[in-house]
Chains A and B, each alone.
Chain A
Amino acid sequence: MRPLETRVLYGVKLYRFDWVLFITTILLCSIGLINLYSATYASQFKNYFANQLYTSVVGIILTFILALLPTKFIMRTSYLFLGALVVPLFLVLLIGPEVHGAKRWIMIGKIGLQPSEFGKLVLILALARYFSDYPKMRGYALKGLWFPMLVTLACAALIVLEPDLGTAGIYILIFAAISMLAGVRKKLLILAIVIALIAIPLAWKFGLEDYQRERILTLVNPERDPLGSGYHIRQSIIAIGSGKAFGKSYLEGTQTKLQFLPEHHTDFIFAVLAEEWGFFGSLFVILAFAYLIYRLFTLATLVPDRFRRFALAGIGFYFFFQTAINIAMTLGLFPVVGITLPFFSYGRSSLLTSFAAIGLAINFASKRYMFED
């Protein structure tokens, strides 16, 4: 049936644990924890650091479990999981507790989980299987893409209802990026661009709430609303800028300690890092993230089949979008959206999802062409 299969199999190593990926992860997670301690040690309300530490331990265990699962099992169950994802996404809307006007959590006892976070990985796996099941040499036309697109949009739509535009956006970006990687016919590409050009002004006018428009406008002109949404960006930029080359040193940040950012332990955690560790400290972290992403894409080119390839690339895109959008947001380059910085932001679901992503990546990267090493 597929004549080349045997030849390929001969050149494949059976199992290989990617320590590089694992150690980079542990490094980022450690710096993240140290940084979170500084951001929250003065809090009287909650022991953020301890919570995050416990979650990290669970996360590392999760990494190993996922790394050792049979790849075939993951691939076979990927559609099942995507179908199952719809249930918690609906449940969140029905019975989820409302926090700051959004219903994003499912409570399991006292533990709140965000299905939309874990859903990012579920989507990646399902898309990887789709592009593996239906390979196209000369790129995909609308005929080959409408179904996964519809599924992605359906998930994104449920998340928009929470409302969580940022996360819904990540879903669409992940779909778009994996599709592009798989190859899209020129006709469809032009069509997509045209639709986007028409949709954006319409969405601006009808799809966004006032506060969301305001966030985008303040990006263009931060002085526009210095007490409202512009205030956070402005304070975040002051915090980052005031760190200068070497930072104000650990636990000595003044901007971030004074509670000017209500989300300084979640969405704006990078500002704490940049203020205390300066340009070189934050650049180091950015480079570590960049290396992690680079490694994921490199591994994607080394694995022997399409499922592994697209899954690894998808995880690479996941880390890229999260990291780039979050940091760009704190730097005032992107509108304020609720997207976390992996391993740095406080949050159980976000942290566990990042660890799970690494676990899956190690799993997929375990089988490689020998001659590439």
Chain B
Amino acid sequence: MKYEHIEWFSDEDDRRRFQKQTLITLVVIAIVFVVIGFRLFSLQILRGDYYLELSEKNRLRVYRLFPPRGLILDRKGKLIVDNRLGFDLFYRPVSRKDKLTDEEVKIIASLLQIDEATLNKTIKEASAYSPSKLASDLDYDTLAKLEEALNIIGRDRGLEILLTPKRNYLYPLLIPHFLGYLREISPSELARNSEVYRAGDLIGKSGIEQAYEEFLRGNAGMEWVEENAFHQRLRTIKVEPAKVGKNLYLTIDLDLNLKVAEIFGERSGAVVVMDVNTGGIIAAFSNPAFDPSIFSGRLKPELWQSLLENPARPLVNKVIAGVYPPGSVFKPVVALAALQNGVITPQQEIICTGSYHIGAYEYGCWKKEGHGIVNLHFGIVNSCDVYFYRVAEMTGIDRLSEFAKKCGFGRETGIKIAGEMSGLVPDRNWKRNVKKQPWHLGETLFFGIGQGYVLTTPLQIAVFYSALANGGKLLEPRLVERIEDPITGKVETTEVKVTGEIPAKKEYIRIVNKALLDVVEGGTGRQARLNEIKVAGKTGTAQVVSMRNNRAEIEDHAWFAAFAPFEQPEICVVVLVEHGGKGGAVAAPIAREIIRAYFEQKGVLKEKELSKGENEAAGD
């Protein structure tokens, strides 16, 4: 059946026929290959020199187009950080003639003031595909010398000076700790993010530059350009445009910040001004500071060493990473803990004789002659230590530390900047686990006046005082108010986040606030008083023992934490002067001037007036 339509013929005939057909096929195939071979011969042998010349002349280059990084502006739109153009030296070897001789490397090394071995290593890593950056942000002097050297070495040797955008910090010493800086990307960061970055790219390494890297950086573009051997552009083949980074509008007020820096002067320490209703940081200041632009070029080792060794720690952001005993600014925490736990009533009185005795130990009040009869209000207004020793003893360390933790102490505030410290709220467990010792009652007393093991950052104090001012809400500190896409104009506002609440009745908070008002009106914080605006605040003098020149010295940190106006609080100001002395004498006037500057800017205060409290000595 199957074979009905099959013609009958011998296999041998079939094979012979197939062989004949195959022979014809092979001849055709051979002809095609000969044509290909001849074409190859003609291109490579007959016209090889011509094409070699063309290949030397026409070469395609891919340039990365660096978009300008997003701008950083203050809350009113005033520029804080923008971009400028800088010159970088690149090496991109394309053919053998681009190989640099030892002598040429020596010339370049001496011009760039780097050692030959390092330079040689960088040069070896370069290829046509990924050029090496030999130097970045050349100054004009070096640039001029390099241009001259290039005339001798030759402009077609793969060395090229390219314009790239550089970060420009308009106020170099202003809040560098918060703005952060850029550095060349590290190999490990590159490995994690190889799709976005290339070796040699700059990346935000700290502060806002780091935290908001993905918004600020934009997207690099590509440009395919045909060039001749003299690096002259013949034509552009294709362009993938770069995408500009997004602009950040900070909660920071530039003018107020400048004013803060002026008021604070040369002292070392920190200042935070926070919006009590939104958590926005209006001013922040950590002194001494550093110029962030030193990091974008090649960092000189001596400079780095001097920054590291400076006892005033210019590299530390003291607002978020400086941990200090809070001293008396901590007393409202203790007072609220005692009130909330029902240990005391506001009216309850004790007698301060200038010292407090437990067993054989004596704990002194700052006022050696004693305060006499003291209740809560008087205790806060005059910062009576004995009163708080008693209150702390009655409340006990367990309830105190639990309450303090709920007020945001001992944990990070959540500000979106790397390197925040959590401080320390000691308790029995901590003492047992870390110090391997049981808790002593004396330590509870120290806790009551914000001394001993308790450690806080100025930012934590600001969050707590803001909460006192706003009725108890602990807010997450914000630095960025809104993020703007400069192309579409779309604006994204960052949200106000409540991280917790002071676990005390509103009534108790009001009682404490009233006392804080009287601290400034006529207590230890008189120097912070302004005539037209009611300020509530608390002084603090943190005792620290530090070793200097191999001998122990007692140097007090001066604190002042305040909010204003009392009736309808807007801002909270925290001032910390390291080794400054008494809080009332040193920190309070600074806080007053900052508050004054803020309200002057707002137009509430017209001109500088003399406050009643000025130049009066104050205790703590």
Contact = CB atoms under 8 A, between A and B. Distances in A.
A282 B55 contact: no
Interface string A170-182: 0000000100111
A293 B94 contact: no
Nearest to A278: B44
A333 B39 contact: yes
A181 B96 contact: no
B10 A283 contact: no
Interface stretch (B103-111, B127-135, B358-366): B127-135
Given A134-B5, A259-B62, A4 B11 contact: yes
Contacts of B144: none
Contacts of B47: 241
Contact of B59 (A254, A283, A328): A254
Interface stretch (B13-21, B280-288, B309-317): B13-21
Given A136-B7, A257-B129, A300 B39 contact: no
A237 interface: yes
Contact of A324 (B32, B128, B130): B32
A115 B369 CA distance: 97
B14 A137 contact: yes
Most buried by A among B9, B26, B36, B61: B36
B9 A135 contact: yes
Interface in B122-172: 127-130
Contact of A297 (B22, B56, B198): B22
Interface string A235-255: 101111111110000001011
A283 B40 contact: yes
B49 interface: yes
Contacts of B61: 258
B38 to A, nearest CB: 10
A242 B129 contact: no
A274 interface: yes
Contact of B36 (A134, A241, A331): A331
Interface in B79-132: 94-96, 127-130
Contact of A42 (B6, B17, B130): B130
B277 to A, nearest CB: 49
Contacts of B372: none
B345 interface: no
Given A242-B54, A259-B62, A301 B15 contact: yes
A43 B198 CA distance: 12
Nearest to A4: B11
A30 B603 CA distance: 81
B554 interface: no
Nearest to A3: B10
Contact of B6 (A43, A134, A259, A328): A134
B172 to A, nearest CB: 35
Contacts of B5: 134
SS class, residues of chain B in contact with chain A: helix
B41 interface: yes
A320 interface: yes
A15 interface: no
Interface residues of A, number: 61
A42 B18 contact: no
Contacts, number: 163
B9 A240 contact: no
A320 B33 CA distance: 9
Interface string B490-502: 0000000000000
B19 A260 contact: no
Contacts of B32: 320, 324, 328
B10 A4 contact: yes
Given A242-B55, A252-B96, A137 B13 contact: yes
Contacts of A242: 48, 51-52, 54-56
B25 A181 contact: yes
B97 to A, nearest CB: 11
Contact of A243 (B9, B41, B44, B194): B44
A235 B59 CA distance: 9
Nearest to A245: B45
A242 B51 CA distance: 5
A244 B11 contact: no
Contacts of B30: 290
Interface string B178-215: 00000000000000001000100000000000000000
A193 to B, nearest CB: 16
A313 B28 CA distance: 14
Contact of B14 (A135, A241, A328): A135
B567 interface: no
B235 A279 contact: no
Given A297-B25, A301-B15, A301-B18, 6 more contacts: A43-B129, A137-B13, A244-B48, A252-B95, A254-B128, A331-B40
27 contacts: A1-B3, A42-B127, A134-B6, A137-B9, A180-B25, A227-B237, A235-B58, A237-B43, A240-B44, A242-B51, A242-B54, A242-B56, A244-B45, A254-B55, A255-B55, A257-B128, A257-B129, A258-B59, A279-B41, A279-B45, A294-B26, A294-B29, A301-B19, A306-B14, A324-B32, A331-B36, A331-B39
Interface of B: 3, 5-7, 9-15, 17-19, 21-22, 25-26, 29-30, 32-33, 35-37, 39-41, 43-45, 47-52, 54-56, 58-62, 94-96, 127-130, 194, 198, 224, 235, 237
